[in-house]
Structure 1
């Protein structure tokens, strides 16, 4: 008789637990961090020639800085308007520009391009793989400025190479 009583007790306990299991399971949605809002946007980068050893050659990059390269940063804003800004690289290969509309700037919809190089022997942009060409921008710094926070973005170093048949000058 005892085993029958134990079996009935176990079934009763099981029914209690099964009845307590919820029939609907709610899914937990992932929370994404909001995109930071900046009052000012600056874009900085460097242009180097991979083909030749020119003045300013940097051993660890195996490249030389290029002065006078026309750099274009093009973006779609939040309303899908296409906006482009241009800057020329200065000695050392650096370029700097400010973005006109910080409120609608979305770095995920931006790319940096080389439009022109003053050196015919080092004028072909070397972009990474991707269907859209150009170089993506990434956040490198944030700083407090008058009226808010400035976000500084960069494509990093953009390299130029030699076109087919080009020869480097004596360096």
Structure 2
């Protein structure tokens, strides 16, 4: 009697499992995370001279801030047009600008460049590897503001060095 009961129980379990097997196989589509949309984008950074000990020299960076450097941020828009915006570094080597085309901003398609330095002995920028050249932008902060979210991007510190043959005035 026991073997018949076990056989009936096994058949019942098998029917339950077979009934649970789907008869159609559907394709699974990949889900991509939505890209954040911002109401404002700021780009900030710092320019330092690695070659010379100038006023404002920072020991832990082994560099001095440079004022008056012409900085350019260039990005490709959604139609692959090249858009550029310029600003100058101020006291402490800081620069700041807001990006006008918020809707199509993609930091992976942007680079930060030094176009001109007021010091001939400290004018060669060194950039890390970037897909489009220049210094890469990284997200620093996102904050809620009236009307949306503001994102701040930065290339960090951009270092300038001496071109070949240039000598610091205090060497």
> TM-score range with shorter-chain normalisation?
0.7 to 0.9
Deviations 1:55-107 (A, max 9, x none): 10111211110112111100112232211011121221111223233333332
Cα offset for 1:35? 1.4
Cα offset for 1:112? 0.5
1:99 — aligned with what? 99
Q: CA-atom RMSD, angstroms?
A: 2.6
- Is the counterpart of residue 68 in structure 1 residue 75 in structure 2? no
2:31 — aligned with what? 30
Structure 1 residues 48-87: aligned runs within 5 Å? 48-87=48-87
Deviations 1:139-168 (A, max 9, x none): 3343525x6554332222111122233322
Distance 2:100 2:130 in 1: 27
- Give the structure-2-normalised TM-score: 0.81
How many residues of Structure 1 are paired with residues of Structure 2 in the alignment?
Answer: 169
Query: After the TM superposition, which of the residue ranges 105-114 and 46-55 deviates more from structure 2?
Result: 105-114
| Inter-CA distance 128–5: structure 2 relative to 1 (3 Å threshold) | same
Distance 1:97 1:6 in 2: 77
Which residues of structure 2 form unaligned runs of 5+?
none
Confirm or deny: 8 A CA contact 2:37 2:103 kept in the other structure. no
